[in-house]
Structures are given as structure tokens and as C-alpha cells.
Structure 1
Amino acid sequence: MIFPGLFSEPVTRDQARDLARDELEKPIYHRERPSFLDKMIDQIREWFDKLTPDGVKRPGGGGGDFTLLILVVLFVLLAVAVVWWMRGRGNTKAAGAALLDDVPSSATDHRSAAAAFAAEGRFAEAIRERLRAIARDLEERAILDPRPGRTARELAHETLRAMPVDLSEGVGVFDDVWYGDRPGTPEGYALLVALDEEVRAARPRPLERVP
């Protein structure tokens, strides 16, 4: 095989293949080839078409703009759901906010306030006051040392060390309501009431003897 004017010697099969490949890789031959983004959009459009019920018309005749809009909306909803879920237990405010303030109070005061809030349907406040009642009760019984800066999570940790009562679930409800922007519920309040009663009935763990 000879290319006139280019080679004075015959071109081998391998040389011809390389020349053809180099020629076809020039941009002029690829102007009509779809880009990677175009291929992705086509695949997403096909996926969305399969999910769309028959007979449902889409704006613009089913173009890529509508599909892209749907994907953006779904992504935003997913991001909002993730942020809403992560707020609460993972919130840094929940880890550092004190449960009790410096105002003198008793466990009975907090229980009365919790019952009043619950009667009004204000279960977020009722949950907070019932957890405060637990903290005050433990301090009044000298099971925990009085400490105004104690957080709800610290309360759960120290209580579990002092007696066989796990407050972590109740603290989780408290964090979700006050730091995760979730509504208080009768079920959440009932959980705190049950934990309060369990704490009042439990006996402290015996002190470890020092050898």
C-alpha cells in the first residue's frame, strides 16, 4: 500500500492502522459525538421516563431541563432531610448546654411545672422540666453532687455510674426537642415520666471498697 506523495516505500499494515487511528482522533471527526454530560443526562432522562406513569405529560415535551429540575428538587429535599436528622444528637449546643440554671428549685417544683405544661399540650417544656426533676431529685438525695453546669448527657453518664438506670433514651428525646427542632410528643413525655419514677425507685450502687 502506497500513499502518493507521502511515502517512497510501501506502508506496512501496522503503520496504516496507526495512521488511520491518528487521523480519526482529530477533533473534526468528533464534533457530533455526545459529551459525557450529555450521555449522563440521556441516561437520567431514560430512568425518569421509566418512573413517569403513562399518559402524564411533562412541561416542554419532556426535555432535559425538566428532568434536571426534578433532580435538583430531589437533591434539596434529601439535603434538608439529612440536616434535620443530624441536628439534635450531633448538635454541639446539646453537648454543652447546662440542664439546670442557677435559680433555686426542687424536684417537686419541676414535676409540678412538667405536669402543668403537659396539661396544656406543651410537651417540649414538659419534657425539659421532667428531666430537670430527675436531676434535682438525684442532687437532693445526695446521689449526685449539686452542679449548675451539668449537661443532660453528663447527667445520663453520672446517673448510670451511680445506679442501674440508663437515661440515655430520655436525654435523646430531650436533645431532639430542644436542639433538633423536633416537636415534643405525649410519648416522649411519658418516657421521661417513666424514667423519673425508675430513678426514684432505684437504689444507688454500693460504693467500691478501697483495699
Structure 2
Amino acid sequence: MPTWGDGLLVAGGAPVTVPRDPARDAARDELLDAEYHKHDPSVLERVMSWLNDHITGALDGISGTGTSGTTGLVLFLVVAVLIGAALWWRLGAPRRAARTVLDVYGDEGPRRAAQYRADAERHAAAGQWAEAVRARMRALVRGLEERTLLDARPGRTADEAAAEAGRALPRHAAALAAAARTFDDIAYGERTADQAAYQLLSDLDRALERARPDLDTAPEGAA
């Protein structure tokens, strides 16, 4: 059977010689015809196939030994980090589901706001800022309960107290939310307690002692 470069037979059986380079070019042009490639995978399909092969290889490498196992683990961790970063960018930072309970009520019943304020000042004088912040936040919430701006209720979190008090004292709603956030950040160790954090709560506590409730939103009997 004749091939490109070896010659072709024309009508009558006479051989026709075709140079090798033009024959190669003609064959390449023929193979570039779209008809030959209509069933080829798309670019996206090829990319997904490449990713699948590499992820599968990484997972297989984890079960291996020596260098291959280590390499597979590293690749798997890289892929996991990339996926996590993509989800973080798409959905945003996850919010904490839990918040710290204020623990205003002890085994012996609720203490007075004045007692919590005295504890806070004592801790502040000793430079124990985390304890001072916690005591001052409890004093703030207990003071609002004593004025019936908040219902007396154990198990309340700082966020819940701030949101409820903000409805009764809308002018202080933003400051209350900031105080609750500071309390939570310090309680969770995300922020180091310092004098500035304590001063924020102390100033707000004093301001709330003088604040008058919004009569349209305050609980009945609020003073």
C-alpha cells in the first residue's frame, strides 16, 4: 500500500513521488480538521481531569511509605488549605456559635451591682485586667437588672444582655454591643485584657447609671 513520501499511484498505475516534508504538512493539515476533534474533551474537562489525577495521587501517596507518603500528605494538606481558603473567601469568616455566659448569679443568689463594681476596682488596682473586665461587665448587667431595664434572668450571655439593653437604651446600643464584643474576645483569649478594655466598660457602666430608658421600648416598670 503506498504511503506519503513513498509515492502514490495515479490513474493507469503510474507512480507519482511526493516529497516527504510536503507530505508531512499535508497530513498535519488533515488532522487539524475540526471533524476529527468534535468528540475531544473541553478545556474545563481536561483541567478537572488533571486536578482529579493529582488529588487522587496525593491521597494514594498518604498510604505509602517514605518520601512518597510524605509528599502525598503535603499535597493533600495544600489542597485542603486551598479549598478552605476558597470557602473562607466565598462565605466569610465563620461566626462563633457560642458566647460566654456572664454568670451574674452564683450559688448564693445574685449579688448587687455595687459588689461587682467593688470587685472590679480591686482587680483593676492590682493590674488584674481580665478579672476586672469580667467583674465590670457583670456590674453593668446587674445594674440594668436592678433598674428593671433587663429582666432578671440567669444564664444570659454578654451578647444577649447587650442586645436586650440596646432596645431599651437605643442611644447606647452600639456601645453595649462593643462592650459585649470586648468581653467575649477577652474571655475567649482572642484579645489581651488591658486598662483600655477595662476603661471602656467602666465608662459605659457609669453612663448607663445616668441613662433614661426609651419609654416606647423599655420593659414595664423600668426606671
TM-score class normalised by the smaller sequence: 0.5 to 0.7
> What is the match of residue 47 of structure 2?
none
The question of whether the paired residues in 1 share the 8 Å contact of 2:141 and 2:161 is answered with yes
Alignment of 1:40-59 (within 5 A): none
After TM superposition, the score normalised by the length of structure 1 is: 0.58
The one of 122, 125, 128 aligned to 2:134: 128
> What is the match of residue 110 of structure 1?
116
Alignment of 1:95-174 (within 5 A): 97-103=100-106, 104-163=110-169, 164-166=171-173, 167-174=176-183
Q: 1:206 to 1:101 in 2, by over 3 A?
A: closer
The question of whether the paired residues in 1 share the 8 Å contact of 2:104 and 2:111 is answered with no
1:144-196 C-alpha deviation (Å, 9 max, x unpaired)? 11001111001111111111212011111111100144210110100001110
Identity rate of aligned residues, in percent?
36
1:113-156 C-alpha deviation (Å, 9 max, x unpaired)? 11111111111111111110011001111111100111100111
Size of the aligned set, in residue pairs, is 147
Asked if 1:15 corresponds to 2:15, the answer is: no
Q: Distance in 2 between matches of 1:172 and 1:159?
A: 14
> How well do the aligned residues superpose, as a CA RMSD in angstroms?
3.6
Asked if 1:199 corresponds to 2:175, the answer is: no
Q: Distance in 2 between matches of 1:184 and 1:159?
A: 24
Q: In structure 2, give the amino acid aligned to 1:190.
A: Q
In the alignment, structure 2 segments of 5+ residues that lack a partner are: 10-15, 33-49, 51-77, 218-223
Q: In structure 1, give the amino acid aligned to 2:209.
A: R
Q: Distance in 1 between matches of 2:28 and 2:143?
A: 92
Q: In structure 1, give the amino acid aligned to 2:128.
A: R
1:92-120 C-alpha deviation (Å, 9 max, x unpaired)? 332xx321243221101110111111111
> What is the match of residue 61 of structure 2?
none
After TM superposition, the score normalised by the length of structure 2 is: 0.56
The question of whether the paired residues in 2 share the 8 Å contact of 1:91 and 1:180 is answered with no
> What is the match of residue 33 of structure 1?
none
Q: Distance in 1 between matches of 2:189 and 2:30?
A: 64
Higher relative contact order (CA 8 A, sep 6+): 1
> What is the match of residue 98 of structure 2?
93
The question of whether the paired residues in 2 share the 8 Å contact of 1:173 and 1:188 is answered with yes
The question of whether the paired residues in 2 share the 8 Å contact of 1:143 and 1:162 is answered with yes
In the alignment, structure 1 segments of 5+ residues that lack a partner are: 21-35, 37-71
The question of whether the paired residues in 1 share the 8 Å contact of 2:104 and 2:138 is answered with no
Shift of 1:4: 2.2
**DSSP-derived class of the 1:142 partner:** coil
Q: Distance in 2 between matches of 1:159 and 1:111?
A: 19
Q: Distance in 2 between matches of 1:117 and 1:188?
A: 13
1:26-60 C-alpha deviation (Å, 9 max, x unpaired)? xxxxxxxxxx9xxxxxxxxxxxxxxxxxxxxxxxx
Q: Distance in 2 between matches of 1:120 and 1:90?
A: 34
Larger gyration radius, structure 1 or structure 2: 2
